[in-house]
A and B are shown apart, each in its own frame.
Chain A
Protein backbone atom coordinates (compact mmCIF):
# COMPACT_ATOMS: atom_id res chain seq x y z
CA UNK A 1 0.00 0.00 0.00
CA UNK A 2 2.71 2.34 0.97
CA UNK A 3 4.65 1.54 -2.18
CA UNK A 4 1.57 2.15 -4.31
CA UNK A 5 1.02 5.43 -2.55
CA UNK A 6 4.61 6.48 -3.06
CA UNK A 7 4.54 5.55 -6.77
CA UNK A 8 1.30 7.54 -7.10
CA UNK A 9 3.06 10.46 -5.48
CA UNK A 10 5.99 10.14 -7.84
CA UNK A 11 3.66 10.03 -10.83
CA UNK A 12 1.81 13.08 -9.61
CA UNK A 13 5.02 14.98 -9.13
CA UNK A 14 6.34 14.15 -12.62
CA UNK A 15 3.10 15.19 -14.34
CA UNK A 16 3.11 18.44 -12.41
CA UNK A 17 6.68 19.12 -13.54
CA UNK A 18 5.82 18.47 -17.18
CA UNK A 19 2.91 20.91 -17.03
CA UNK A 20 5.07 23.51 -15.36
CA UNK A 21 7.81 23.11 -17.97
CA UNK A 22 5.39 23.48 -20.85
CA UNK A 23 3.82 26.60 -19.38
CA UNK A 24 7.26 28.02 -18.57
CA UNK A 25 8.44 27.35 -22.12
CA UNK A 26 5.40 29.07 -23.61
CA UNK A 27 5.81 32.00 -21.25
CA UNK A 28 9.46 32.39 -22.21
CA UNK A 29 8.70 32.47 -25.93
CA UNK A 30 5.65 34.76 -25.66
CA UNK A 31 6.18 38.49 -26.14
CA UNK A 32 4.77 40.17 -23.07
CA UNK A 33 5.16 43.78 -24.17
CA UNK A 34 4.34 43.96 -27.88
CA UNK A 35 4.01 47.76 -27.96
CA UNK A 36 7.37 48.28 -26.29
CA UNK A 37 9.04 45.77 -28.61
CA UNK A 38 7.54 47.46 -31.64
CA UNK A 39 8.66 50.93 -30.61
CA UNK A 40 12.09 49.69 -29.58
CA UNK A 41 12.75 48.67 -33.18
CA UNK A 42 10.54 51.23 -34.97
CA UNK A 43 12.47 54.42 -34.12
CA UNK A 44 15.90 52.92 -34.77
CA UNK A 45 15.01 51.25 -38.04
CA UNK A 46 13.07 54.24 -39.37
CA UNK A 47 15.99 56.59 -38.59
CA UNK A 48 18.28 54.33 -40.65
CA UNK A 49 15.69 54.03 -43.44
CA UNK A 50 15.18 57.81 -43.62
CA UNK A 51 18.97 58.33 -43.77
CA UNK A 52 19.31 55.86 -46.65
CA UNK A 53 16.30 57.05 -48.63
CA UNK A 54 16.50 60.79 -47.99
CA UNK A 55 17.73 61.54 -51.50
CA UNK A 56 14.68 59.81 -52.94
CA UNK A 57 12.05 61.00 -50.47
CA UNK A 58 12.63 64.75 -50.51
CA UNK A 59 15.09 67.22 -51.99
CA UNK A 60 15.29 69.17 -48.74
CA UNK A 61 18.35 68.30 -46.67
CA UNK A 62 16.96 70.13 -43.66
CA UNK A 63 13.73 68.11 -43.51
CA UNK A 64 15.72 64.88 -43.58
CA UNK A 65 18.13 66.08 -40.92
CA UNK A 66 15.40 67.29 -38.57
CA UNK A 67 13.42 64.07 -39.06
CA UNK A 68 16.44 61.91 -38.32
CA UNK A 69 17.33 64.00 -35.27
CA UNK A 70 13.77 63.71 -33.93
CA UNK A 71 13.70 59.94 -34.53
CA UNK A 72 17.08 59.48 -32.85
CA UNK A 73 15.99 61.51 -29.81
CA UNK A 74 12.70 59.61 -29.46
CA UNK A 75 14.58 56.34 -29.82
CA UNK A 76 17.10 57.35 -27.14
CA UNK A 77 14.36 58.33 -24.71
CA UNK A 78 12.25 55.23 -25.41
CA UNK A 79 15.10 52.73 -25.12
CA UNK A 80 16.66 54.33 -22.06
CA UNK A 81 13.49 54.88 -20.06
CA UNK A 82 10.87 52.39 -21.24
CA UNK A 83 11.93 49.40 -23.29
CA UNK A 84 15.03 48.44 -21.31
CA UNK A 85 13.07 48.39 -18.08
CA UNK A 86 10.12 46.47 -19.53
CA UNK A 87 11.86 44.01 -21.84
CA UNK A 88 15.00 42.99 -20.00
CA UNK A 89 14.70 44.54 -16.57
CA UNK A 90 17.75 46.82 -16.75
CA UNK A 91 18.03 50.54 -16.10
CA UNK A 92 20.69 53.20 -15.85
CA UNK A 93 20.62 56.87 -14.92
CA UNK A 94 22.58 59.77 -13.56
CA UNK A 95 22.16 61.17 -10.09
CA UNK A 96 23.55 64.41 -8.69
CA UNK A 97 24.24 64.58 -4.95
CA UNK A 98 23.54 67.51 -2.72
CA UNK A 99 27.18 68.49 -2.85
CA UNK A 100 27.15 68.54 -6.64
CA UNK A 101 28.91 65.31 -7.49
CA UNK A 102 27.29 63.20 -10.17
CA UNK A 103 27.05 59.43 -10.07
CA UNK A 104 26.04 57.02 -12.78
CA UNK A 105 23.85 54.18 -11.55
CA UNK A 106 23.44 50.86 -13.34
CA UNK A 107 20.85 48.39 -12.07
CA UNK A 108 19.37 45.07 -13.06
CA UNK A 109 16.16 43.64 -11.70
CA UNK A 110 16.58 40.67 -9.39
CA UNK A 111 14.86 37.48 -10.56
CA UNK A 112 12.21 36.40 -8.07
CA UNK A 113 11.79 32.77 -6.95
CA UNK A 114 8.39 32.35 -8.65
CA UNK A 115 9.93 32.93 -12.04
CA UNK A 116 6.97 34.76 -13.57
CA UNK A 117 8.85 38.03 -13.48
CA UNK A 118 11.71 36.80 -15.66
CA UNK A 119 11.84 38.36 -19.08
CA UNK A 120 10.88 36.21 -22.03
CA UNK A 121 13.65 35.01 -24.28
CA UNK A 122 12.20 36.33 -27.50
CA UNK A 123 11.83 39.83 -26.02
CA UNK A 124 15.36 39.69 -24.75
CA UNK A 125 16.57 38.58 -28.16
CA UNK A 126 14.69 41.41 -29.90
CA UNK A 127 16.06 43.94 -27.42
CA UNK A 128 19.72 42.98 -27.72
CA UNK A 129 19.52 42.50 -31.49
CA UNK A 130 18.15 46.01 -31.97
CA UNK A 131 20.52 47.47 -29.43
CA UNK A 132 23.69 45.99 -30.94
CA UNK A 133 23.13 46.10 -34.70
CA UNK A 134 21.98 49.70 -35.07
CA UNK A 135 25.06 51.45 -33.58
CA UNK A 136 27.24 49.24 -35.80
CA UNK A 137 25.24 50.39 -38.84
CA UNK A 138 25.66 54.05 -37.79
CA UNK A 139 29.43 53.55 -37.44
CA UNK A 140 29.49 52.14 -40.98
CA UNK A 141 27.57 55.22 -42.14
CA UNK A 142 30.10 57.43 -40.36
CA UNK A 143 33.00 55.87 -42.24
CA UNK A 144 31.16 56.04 -45.55
CA UNK A 145 30.34 59.73 -44.98
CA UNK A 146 33.97 60.44 -44.13
CA UNK A 147 35.47 58.64 -47.09
CA UNK A 148 32.97 59.86 -49.66
CA UNK A 149 33.45 63.43 -48.35
CA UNK A 150 29.75 63.99 -47.68
CA UNK A 151 30.65 66.13 -44.73
CA UNK A 152 27.25 67.74 -44.26
CA UNK A 153 25.83 64.38 -43.18
CA UNK A 154 28.58 63.88 -40.65
CA UNK A 155 26.75 65.85 -37.95
CA UNK A 156 23.68 63.60 -38.15
CA UNK A 157 25.72 60.42 -38.30
CA UNK A 158 27.86 61.43 -35.30
CA UNK A 159 24.68 62.14 -33.35
CA UNK A 160 23.37 58.68 -34.26
CA UNK A 161 26.59 57.03 -33.19
CA UNK A 162 26.74 58.94 -29.90
CA UNK A 163 23.11 58.45 -28.86
CA UNK A 164 22.82 54.79 -29.79
CA UNK A 165 26.30 54.02 -28.56
CA UNK A 166 25.43 55.60 -25.20
CA UNK A 167 22.44 53.29 -24.79
CA UNK A 168 24.49 50.28 -25.82
CA UNK A 169 27.25 51.13 -23.35
CA UNK A 170 24.78 51.80 -20.54
CA UNK A 171 22.93 48.52 -20.97
CA UNK A 172 26.09 46.47 -21.35
CA UNK A 173 27.34 47.94 -18.09
CA UNK A 174 24.02 47.10 -16.45
CA UNK A 175 24.28 43.55 -17.68
CA UNK A 176 27.92 43.00 -16.84
CA UNK A 177 28.04 44.90 -13.56
CA UNK A 178 30.69 47.46 -12.76
CA UNK A 179 33.22 45.13 -11.11
CA UNK A 180 33.44 42.18 -13.47
CA UNK A 181 35.60 42.76 -16.49
CA UNK A 182 34.77 41.50 -19.93
CA UNK A 183 37.24 38.59 -20.03
CA UNK A 184 35.81 36.94 -16.92
CA UNK A 185 32.31 37.43 -18.30
CA UNK A 186 33.34 35.90 -21.63
CA UNK A 187 34.99 32.87 -20.01
CA UNK A 188 31.99 32.21 -17.74
CA UNK A 189 29.65 32.53 -20.74
CA UNK A 190 31.74 30.10 -22.80
CA UNK A 191 31.92 27.74 -19.86
CA UNK A 192 28.14 27.78 -19.52
CA UNK A 193 27.69 27.13 -23.24
CA UNK A 194 30.13 24.21 -23.10
CA UNK A 195 28.33 22.73 -20.09
CA UNK A 196 24.97 23.12 -21.79
CA UNK A 197 26.20 21.37 -24.92
CA UNK A 198 27.69 18.42 -23.00
CA UNK A 199 24.47 18.06 -20.96
CA UNK A 200 22.44 18.08 -24.18
CA UNK A 201 24.67 15.43 -25.71
CA UNK A 202 24.38 13.31 -22.56
CA UNK A 203 20.59 13.62 -22.68
CA UNK A 204 20.62 12.54 -26.32
CA UNK A 205 22.81 9.51 -25.66
CA UNK A 206 20.71 8.60 -22.57
CA UNK A 207 17.37 8.78 -24.45
Chain B
Protein backbone atom coordinates (compact mmCIF):
# COMPACT_ATOMS: atom_id res chain seq x y z
CA UNK B 1 0.00 0.00 0.00
CA UNK B 2 2.68 2.44 -0.96
CA UNK B 3 1.96 6.08 -1.73
CA UNK B 4 4.59 8.01 -3.57
CA UNK B 5 3.45 11.54 -4.33
CA UNK B 6 3.61 14.61 -2.19
CA UNK B 7 2.48 17.21 -4.66
CA UNK B 8 -0.64 19.35 -4.57
CA UNK B 9 -4.10 18.02 -5.19
CA UNK B 10 -4.59 17.97 -9.00
CA UNK B 11 -1.74 15.65 -9.98
CA UNK B 12 -1.92 13.74 -6.75
CA UNK B 13 -5.63 13.07 -7.15
CA UNK B 14 -5.01 11.48 -10.54
CA UNK B 15 -2.17 9.43 -9.16
CA UNK B 16 -4.37 8.34 -6.26
CA UNK B 17 -6.99 6.93 -8.63
CA UNK B 18 -4.36 5.23 -10.77
CA UNK B 19 -2.84 3.90 -7.60
CA UNK B 20 -6.19 2.42 -6.66
CA UNK B 21 -6.41 0.52 -9.93
CA UNK B 22 -2.91 -0.77 -9.36
CA UNK B 23 -4.00 -1.91 -5.92
CA UNK B 24 -6.94 -3.83 -7.39
CA UNK B 25 -4.66 -5.39 -10.00
CA UNK B 26 -2.29 -6.51 -7.25
CA UNK B 27 -5.18 -8.17 -5.40
CA UNK B 28 -6.27 -9.91 -8.63
CA UNK B 29 -2.74 -11.11 -9.29
CA UNK B 30 -2.59 -12.63 -5.83
CA UNK B 31 -5.84 -14.52 -6.42
CA UNK B 32 -4.29 -16.00 -9.59
CA UNK B 33 -1.13 -16.92 -7.65
CA UNK B 34 -3.23 -18.82 -5.13
CA UNK B 35 -4.99 -20.85 -7.80
CA UNK B 36 -1.66 -21.74 -9.45
CA UNK B 37 0.74 -21.92 -6.52
CA UNK B 38 4.22 -21.52 -7.89
CA UNK B 39 7.03 -20.49 -5.61
CA UNK B 40 6.79 -16.82 -6.48
CA UNK B 41 7.37 -14.02 -4.05
CA UNK B 42 4.55 -11.74 -5.22
CA UNK B 43 2.22 -12.94 -2.48
CA UNK B 44 4.83 -12.34 0.16
CA UNK B 45 6.50 -9.10 -0.91
CA UNK B 46 3.48 -6.82 -1.51
CA UNK B 47 1.20 -8.11 1.16
CA UNK B 48 -2.26 -6.65 1.66
CA UNK B 49 -5.28 -7.75 3.64
CA UNK B 50 -8.07 -6.63 1.29
CA UNK B 51 -8.37 -10.00 -0.43
CA UNK B 52 -8.63 -11.92 2.87
CA UNK B 53 -11.25 -9.45 4.12
CA UNK B 54 -13.40 -9.87 1.00
CA UNK B 55 -13.03 -13.66 1.11
CA UNK B 56 -13.83 -13.83 4.82
CA UNK B 57 -16.93 -11.66 4.50
CA UNK B 58 -18.25 -13.57 1.46
CA UNK B 59 -17.59 -16.96 3.08
CA UNK B 60 -19.31 -15.84 6.28
CA UNK B 61 -22.27 -14.53 4.29
CA UNK B 62 -22.61 -17.80 2.37
CA UNK B 63 -22.47 -19.82 5.59
CA UNK B 64 -25.70 -18.30 6.85
CA UNK B 65 -28.76 -20.40 7.51
CA UNK B 66 -31.70 -19.83 5.23
CA UNK B 67 -34.13 -18.36 7.79
CA UNK B 68 -33.97 -14.68 6.97
CA UNK B 69 -37.32 -13.83 8.52
CA UNK B 70 -36.59 -14.53 12.15
CA UNK B 71 -34.86 -12.14 14.52
CA UNK B 72 -32.07 -14.64 15.06
CA UNK B 73 -31.13 -14.51 11.40
CA UNK B 74 -27.87 -16.38 11.68
CA UNK B 75 -26.28 -13.32 13.30
CA UNK B 76 -23.98 -15.11 15.74
CA UNK B 77 -22.86 -17.54 13.03
CA UNK B 78 -21.56 -14.67 10.91
CA UNK B 79 -19.48 -13.29 13.75
CA UNK B 80 -18.33 -16.81 14.63
CA UNK B 81 -16.98 -17.51 11.16
CA UNK B 82 -15.30 -14.12 11.08
CA UNK B 83 -13.64 -14.67 14.45
CA UNK B 84 -12.61 -18.26 13.64
CA UNK B 85 -10.88 -17.23 10.44
CA UNK B 86 -9.05 -14.21 11.79
CA UNK B 87 -8.22 -15.63 15.20
CA UNK B 88 -7.08 -18.89 13.62
CA UNK B 89 -4.85 -17.05 11.16
CA UNK B 90 -3.31 -14.98 13.96
CA UNK B 91 -2.63 -18.07 16.07
CA UNK B 92 -0.96 -19.89 13.16
CA UNK B 93 1.18 -16.84 12.46
CA UNK B 94 2.24 -16.59 16.09
CA UNK B 95 3.05 -20.29 16.08
CA UNK B 96 5.23 -20.01 13.00
CA UNK B 97 7.00 -16.96 14.40
CA UNK B 98 7.66 -18.72 17.71
CA UNK B 99 9.13 -21.64 15.78
CA UNK B 100 11.65 -19.25 14.31
CA UNK B 101 10.15 -18.41 10.94
CA UNK B 102 11.57 -15.60 8.84
CA UNK B 103 8.25 -14.43 7.49
CA UNK B 104 6.67 -11.34 8.96
CA UNK B 105 3.33 -11.20 10.79
CA UNK B 106 1.27 -9.52 8.09
CA UNK B 107 2.80 -11.51 5.27
CA UNK B 108 1.71 -14.72 6.93
CA UNK B 109 -1.80 -13.36 7.54
CA UNK B 110 -1.92 -12.33 3.89
CA UNK B 111 -0.97 -15.81 2.62
CA UNK B 112 -3.37 -17.64 4.95
CA UNK B 113 -6.19 -15.27 4.04
CA UNK B 114 -5.69 -15.53 0.30
CA UNK B 115 -5.48 -19.34 0.46
CA UNK B 116 -9.08 -19.41 1.73
CA UNK B 117 -10.07 -18.74 -1.90
CA UNK B 118 -10.40 -22.45 -2.95
CA UNK B 119 -12.63 -23.09 0.07
CA UNK B 120 -14.80 -20.10 -0.84
CA UNK B 121 -15.19 -21.60 -4.31
CA UNK B 122 -16.10 -24.91 -2.66
CA UNK B 123 -18.75 -23.13 -0.56
CA UNK B 124 -20.23 -21.60 -3.70
CA UNK B 125 -20.35 -25.00 -5.42
CA UNK B 126 -21.92 -26.59 -2.31
CA UNK B 127 -24.64 -23.98 -2.17
CA UNK B 128 -25.42 -24.52 -5.85
CA UNK B 129 -25.51 -28.32 -5.38
CA UNK B 130 -27.81 -27.93 -2.36
CA UNK B 131 -30.22 -25.89 -4.48
CA UNK B 132 -30.63 -28.97 -6.69
CA UNK B 133 -31.32 -31.35 -3.77
CA UNK B 134 -29.93 -32.66 -0.48
CA UNK B 135 -29.78 -36.43 -0.89
CA UNK B 136 -26.88 -38.86 -0.77
CA UNK B 137 -25.66 -38.01 -4.28
CA UNK B 138 -25.41 -34.33 -3.46
CA UNK B 139 -23.56 -35.19 -0.25
CA UNK B 140 -21.01 -37.27 -2.15
CA UNK B 141 -20.49 -34.49 -4.68
CA UNK B 142 -20.04 -31.96 -1.92
CA UNK B 143 -17.64 -34.24 -0.05
CA UNK B 144 -15.44 -34.68 -3.11
CA UNK B 145 -15.42 -30.96 -3.92
CA UNK B 146 -14.67 -29.93 -0.33
CA UNK B 147 -11.86 -32.48 0.05
CA UNK B 148 -10.29 -31.35 -3.23
CA UNK B 149 -10.46 -27.66 -2.33
CA UNK B 150 -9.19 -28.33 1.20
CA UNK B 151 -6.17 -30.14 -0.23
CA UNK B 152 -5.62 -27.28 -2.67
CA UNK B 153 -5.76 -24.63 0.08
CA UNK B 154 -3.41 -26.53 2.35
CA UNK B 155 -0.90 -27.22 -0.41
CA UNK B 156 -1.01 -23.62 -1.65
CA UNK B 157 -0.40 -22.09 1.76
CA UNK B 158 2.25 -24.69 2.63
CA UNK B 159 4.09 -23.88 -0.59
CA UNK B 160 4.40 -20.28 0.54
CA UNK B 161 4.84 -20.65 4.28
CA UNK B 162 6.92 -23.76 4.79
CA UNK B 163 9.90 -22.36 2.91
CA UNK B 164 10.51 -19.80 5.59
CA UNK B 165 11.06 -22.44 8.24
CA UNK B 166 14.12 -24.55 9.07
CA UNK B 167 13.73 -28.05 7.53
CA UNK B 168 13.21 -30.11 10.68
CA UNK B 169 10.33 -27.90 11.76
CA UNK B 170 8.24 -27.93 8.60
CA UNK B 171 5.76 -30.48 9.98
CA UNK B 172 5.22 -28.36 13.11
CA UNK B 173 4.21 -25.43 10.92
CA UNK B 174 2.10 -27.39 8.43
CA UNK B 175 0.03 -29.17 11.08
CA UNK B 176 -1.82 -26.04 12.42
CA UNK B 177 -2.48 -24.90 8.84
CA UNK B 178 -3.96 -28.33 8.16
CA UNK B 179 -6.21 -27.98 11.22
CA UNK B 180 -7.26 -24.45 10.29
CA UNK B 181 -8.43 -25.37 6.81
CA UNK B 182 -9.92 -28.59 8.16
CA UNK B 183 -12.19 -26.61 10.54
CA UNK B 184 -13.29 -24.32 7.72
CA UNK B 185 -13.93 -27.30 5.42
CA UNK B 186 -15.94 -28.97 8.20
CA UNK B 187 -18.12 -25.85 8.54
CA UNK B 188 -18.66 -25.86 4.78
CA UNK B 189 -19.47 -29.57 4.56
CA UNK B 190 -21.90 -29.61 7.48
CA UNK B 191 -23.80 -26.57 6.22
CA UNK B 192 -27.45 -27.32 5.62
CA UNK B 193 -29.90 -24.56 4.75
CA UNK B 194 -33.11 -24.56 6.77
Residues of A near any B CB (own CB < 8 A): 32-33, 59-62, 65-66, 69, 73, 77, 80-82, 85-86, 89, 91, 93-96, 100-102, 109, 152, 154-156
A93 to B45, CA, bound (A): 13
Interface contact A94-B12, CB-CB below 8 Å: no
Determine which of A85, A96, A154 lies in contact with B47 in the assembled complex, contact meaning CB atoms within 8 Å: A96
**Residues in A neighbouring B104, C-beta threshold 8 A:** 96, 100-102
A61 to B76, CA, bound (A): 9
Is B78 part of the binding interface, using a Cβ–Cβ cutoff of 8 Å? yes
Determine which of A73, A85, A102 lies in contact with B53 in the assembled complex, contact meaning CB atoms within 8 Å: A73
Interface contact A155-B3, CB-CB below 8 Å: no
Interface contact B9-A32, CB-CB below 8 Å: yes
A66 to B5, CA, bound (A): 32
Q: A59-B71, A65-B79, A89-B6 are in contact. Are A82 and B164 (CB under 8 A)?
A: no
A200 to B50, CA, bound (A): 51
Interface contact B16-A82, CB-CB below 8 Å: yes
Query: Which residues of B in the span 20-78 have a Cβ within 8 Å of any Cβ on A?
Result: 44-47, 50, 53, 57, 61, 64, 68, 71, 73-76, 78
Is B103 part of the binding interface, using a Cβ–Cβ cutoff of 8 Å? yes
Minimum distance in angstroms from B67 CB to a CB of chain A: 12
Is B2 part of the binding interface, using a Cβ–Cβ cutoff of 8 Å? yes
Give the nearest-CB partner of B46 in chain A. A96
**Residues in B neighbouring A66, C-beta threshold 8 A:** 57, 61
Interface contact A86-B1, CB-CB below 8 Å: no
Minimum distance in angstroms from A200 CB to a CB of chain B: 33
**Residues in B neighbouring A86, C-beta threshold 8 A:** 9, 12
Determine which of A32, A62, A81 lies in contact with B1 in the assembled complex, contact meaning CB atoms within 8 Å: A81
**Residues in A neighbouring B76, C-beta threshold 8 A:** 152
Is B102 part of the binding interface, using a Cβ–Cβ cutoff of 8 Å? yes
Beyond A60-B73, A152-B75, 6 additional pairs, beta carbon < 8 A? A59-B71, A62-B73, A77-B1, A95-B2, A100-B103, A155-B83
Interface contact B79-A155, CB-CB below 8 Å: yes
Query: Which residues of B in the span 90-126 have a Cβ within 8 Å of any Cβ on A?
Result: 102-104, 106-107
Interface contact B75-A62, CB-CB below 8 Å: yes
**Residues in A neighbouring B9, C-beta threshold 8 A:** 32-33, 86
**Residues in A neighbouring B74, C-beta threshold 8 A:** 62
Interface string of B148-161 (1 = CB under 8 A from A): 00000000000000
Q: A32-B9, A62-B73 are in contact. Are A91 and B3 (CB under 8 A)?
A: yes
